[in-house]
Structure 1
Amino acid sequence: MSHDAGNPAAQPLLFDTMSTMRAMRRLKPDPVPDELLEKLVQAAVWGPSGGNMQRYEYVVVTDPGVMARLAPLWKRCVDAYLATTGKHAPEGMDEAAYGRMVAAIEYQRDHFARTPALIIPCYRMPEQTPDEEGLKASAAALGETATRQLARIQERFGALAEGSCVYPGVQNLLLAARGLGLAANITVWHLMLEAEWKQALGIPEEMHTFAAIPVGWPLGRFGPVRRRPVSEVLHRNGW
């Protein structure tokens, strides 16, 4: 069997999709067909979830009236985000590129009511209380020091465990959108007002929301993305 990984022509088309998948915030107001939105959710559902429990739910908003009611919430969240990040690039980031990003964020904020579709992935881990014997066995496997350390980061551990059941599906959704020629970007700013978002959309209080993903036909062009080279981020066999 030949291996042509070094030959660009032999790379799977998925690599082209990933390398040109920009965060597209400028959207046309044209509606996105329901069947395409269902394809995006199907792609998300194909993603893995912890224990294969599949406890995800996806809220898809396409009603212009609902979008108009969400627009003020979006504006408050974006304004709060921009107030903390500022108008100037953080150290090490190109000022012009940062300015373009902020301009795109502001454009999306100002035109949010005309967003064709918004997808909100939700997840809720089941309540699980290990029995005393299970806790003892876990502590024995980890050791006393690690068990104490785990107790200190339990909230973070739980949040990451839940997120790991959602975000692989979200990435599938973003890749599917790019493959279908749709623009999309992941945001988490809605979490600043999560209770109000859930109330506006009738999402049960016990559900956790993990993103708000605007979707539509792009006004701009895709890729290529600008990222740090692999040589700067790769650590082999240790840091």
Structure 2
Amino acid sequence: MTFETVQAGPGPSDGPALFSVMSTMRAMRRLKPDPVPDEVVDRLIQAAVWGPSGGNMQAYEYVVVTDRQVMARLAPLWKRCVDAYLATTGKHAPQGMDGAAYGRMVAAIEYQRDHFADTPVLIVPCYRFPEARFDEEGLGVYAESLGPAGLERMAATEQRFQALAEGSCVYPGVQNLLLAARALGLAANITIWHLMLEQEWKEALGIPEDTHTFAAVPVGWPLGSFGPVRRRPVSEVVHRNHW
């Protein structure tokens, strides 16, 4: 496996501007401390809300942190999560990845960790998925549709299905948010490290117990420059009609 610097599609001169946005949407972790206007943040959330919603339930909520005192209280939690993440993944590049590029990524993660209290905006997407509604007739149809082992399969896959169902209702909106940030000249990156201490994060932000969090997205004006992303070529990842 190799990672190449490639354009993810046509640029603005030969295709939709969205392709240029996607192909230069790096994870930007070095942020200026300058505030981001509330109306700009609202545009990011609007982009997220435009994302698809399973069953059109729209059961998402977004916690937006801009208060520096709140951010300072979150900073120690962020540090603990990042340190745990780096300890489990290691500081050496995985096979097939350029060591220098990986080192730069780790350095950016550490920079963000050490300057987290200065983050202008933190967005935490949340979702409260409704409980499944099965009656006797529904269970019968379920079992008939999936075969004799249908109910056993349901029990075996219920937890994974629930997690993926919730995620599929949240992450398309998060991607919209990231694209909107890039289009507006803002730096952002999606992380899930907070899940290592999710209960502490929920308590710090007053998030209800029955609501799950799915990401912590720092946003701000970039200290660095946007540029082409490094991704595997399409020819290496496509399996046509069969694996």
Could you report, residue by residue, the CA deviation over 1:32-78 in whole angstroms, capped at 9, with x for unpaired residues? 00000000000000001110000000000000000000000000000
Cα 1:106–1:7 shift into 2, 3 Å:
closer
Identity %: 77
**8 Å contact from structure 2 (residues 126, 214) kept in 1:** yes
Corresponding residue for residue 158 of structure 1: 162
Q: Which amino acid in 1 is paired with 2:92? A: H
Corresponding residue for residue 139 of structure 1: 143
Moved over 6 A (4+): 5-8
Corresponding residue for residue 226 of structure 1: 230
- 1:197 equivalent in alignment to 2:201: yes
- 1:113 equivalent in alignment to 2:127: no
What's the offset of the Cα at 1:166?
0.1
Could you report, residue by residue, the CA deviation over 1:100-128 in whole angstroms, capped at 9, with x for unpaired residues? 00000000000000000000000011112
- 1:64 equivalent in alignment to 2:76: no
What's the offset of the Cα at 1:150?
3.4
- 1:32 equivalent in alignment to 2:36: yes
Q: How does 1:1-239 map to 2 (within 5 A)?
A: 9-239=13-243
| Unaligned residue ranges in structure 2 (runs of 5+) | 1-8
Q: Distance in 2 between matches of 1:99 and 1:214?
A: 21
**TM-score normalised over the length of structure 2:** 0.94
Could you report, residue by residue, the CA deviation over 1:129-186 in whole angstroms, capped at 9, with x for unpaired residues? 3001101101101112354333212101110000000000000000000000000000
Compute the RMSD of aligned alpha carbons.
Answer: 1.4
**TM-score normalised over the length of structure 1:** 0.95
State the secondary structure of the residue aligned to 2:231.
coil
